[in-house]
Amino acid sequence: MRSELERFFRTDSSGERVIGTYLYPYRLFSEPDWEDPYSATEIIAEAEVASRHALITRNGGLFVRPPIALSDPLADANIVPTAEDIRAKLSFEKEAATIFNRLICEFALQGIVSEPASPIHIARGEAIDGHALIRSGGGGRETYFERTIGPARDLIRGDWIRYPIRDLAVVEQVGGQECTQQLVLVSEYLPALIAGAYSSFSRGQLSEAPIDSWIVIEQLLDSHWSAYLAGLTNKRKKRLVDTRTYAASIRTEVLYTVGTIPDPLYESLNTARKHRNDLAHRADISLDTATEVIGAMKEMIEFFTGKSVASPAINMGVNW
């Protein structure tokens, strides 16, 4: 059976230029046509993210359209990109990674964990009649093809049929970005940190997960503290804003004392802070302590957003 996937590899392809990456580990969203790998490249959702239009494909592809003013040497071999053009492309890759991480963060909070994206995971792709695929990739000293040409390779080899399948409804929820739209008001870097915490914990990286988690906790605690200060007189605000005196531990105590932090969260924050200090000052971490730190991050996110989110989980087992 001839597959429409061939359309992406024709020299006369008239597809639209996009750039993108893939969720990793790989997933499929709802049952594709198992007889035709082209079905895995279908664009199943679109979302407005940071004033850009993002596309999500059935096999976890995340794409955006680059500005048309940027050169496209693959479309015109006579083009010689200028230094200014290359700088603009590098800048847009960073913007694209930020956009993708907002979606990846929302996926993680819905229970679908992926490594965060960075510019090294982004490559040129094409969109053709409601489908999109990255068909080329590159690298420098190291190469990371799993987020660029990896899915195209798997589609050609037939390896894509081993991808786990997830409910399409999750993609619709992710497109709404109910949590990340609140989180980015605190810091545009929170989505990448949250995605990193979930991903590191899933892979058993017990030192990385608590570090990302604690940064998220402190940022959200600081936002809550600022909201508390907004209701005070100017003279008191000036004294309480000093982070050297009113560190995270003191802020937690004050916010708990005035009744703006519930008992369970108060206990979790104190436990997480102790584990974070043990890691930072004594290089002491374990599965149990990492679990408590990232669990405190989950509680803090739920407290801040008013939304229930997926519990972080670690993949453990023995197959030997």
Q: Which of 26-30, 60-64, 135-139 has the lowest mean pLDDT?
A: 135-139
What percentage of the chain has pLDDT greater than the value 70?
94
Residues 36, 3 contacting (CB under 8 angstroms):
yes
Q: Which of 89-103, 132-146, 235-249 has the highest mean pLDDT?
A: 89-103
pLDDT tier at 1, thresholds 50, 70, 90:
very low
pLDDT computed for residue 241 by the predictor: 59
pLDDT of 281 > 70? The answer is yes
pLDDT computed for residue 14 by the predictor: 74
pLDDT of 151 > 70? The answer is yes
pLDDT tier at 318, thresholds 50, 70, 90:
confident
pLDDT of 24 > 80? The answer is yes
Residues 163, 29 contacting (CB under 8 angstroms):
no
pLDDT of 243 > 70? The answer is no
pLDDT computed for residue 20 by the predictor: 97
pLDDT computed for residue 13 by the predictor: 66
As given in the structure block, the two tokens for residue 190 are: 């929170």
Beta-strand relationship, 123-128 and 131-134: antiparallel
The average pLDDT across 23-50 equals 96
Residues 6+ apart with CB under 8 A from 101: 116, 117, 191, 192, 195
Beta-strand relationship, 43-49 and 52-57: antiparallel
Q: What is the pTM of this model?
A: 0.93
CA angle 105, 111, 114 (to 5 degrees): 50
pLDDT computed for residue 143 by the predictor: 86
Q: Before 164, cis peptide (omega within 30)?
A: no
Which has the closest alpha carbon to 87: 71, 99, 74, 63?
71
pLDDT computed for residue 15 by the predictor: 87
Q: Which single residue is written with the structure tokens 């149990």? A: 288
Q: What is the pLDDT of residues 170-215, one digit of tens each?
A: 999 999 999 999 999 999 999 999 999 999 999 999 999 999 999 9
Q: In 10 A of CB 41, how many CB atoms?
A: 28
Q: In 10 A of CB 77, how many CB atoms?
A: 7
CA 93/CA 153 separation, integer angstroms: 23
pLDDT of 56 > 50? The answer is yes
The residues with which 18 forms a beta bridge, in sequence order, are 125
CA 148/CA 41 separation, integer angstroms: 13
pLDDT tier at 319, thresholds 50, 70, 90:
confident
- What domains does the chain contain, in order, with CATH numbers? 4-176 (no CATH), 180-305 (1.20.120)
pLDDT of 244 > 70? The answer is no
Q: Which single residue is written with the structure tokens 């990255």? A: 134
Q: In 10 A of CB 211, how many CB atoms?
A: 19
Q: What is the pLDDT of residues 93-113, one digit of tens each?
A: 999 999 999 999 999 999 999
HEC secondary structure over the chain:
CCCHHHHHHCCCCCCEEEEEEECCCCCEECCCCCCCHHHHHEEEEEEEECCEEEEEECCCEEEECCCCCCCCCCCCCCCCCCHHHHHHHHHHHHHHHHHHHHHHHHHHHCCCCCCCCCHHHCEEEEEECCEEEECCCCECCCECHHHCCHHHHHHHHCHHHHCCEECHHHHHHHHHCCCHHHHCCCCCCHHHHHHHHHHHHHCCCCCHHHHHHHHHHHHHHHHHHHHHHCCCCHHHHHHHCCCCCCCHHHHHHHHHHCCCCCHHHHHHHHHHHHHHHHHHHHCCCCHHHHHHHHHHHHHHHHHHHCCCCCCCCCCCCCCC
Name the average pLDDT for the chain.
92
As given in the structure block, the two tokens for residue 146 are: 């799993």
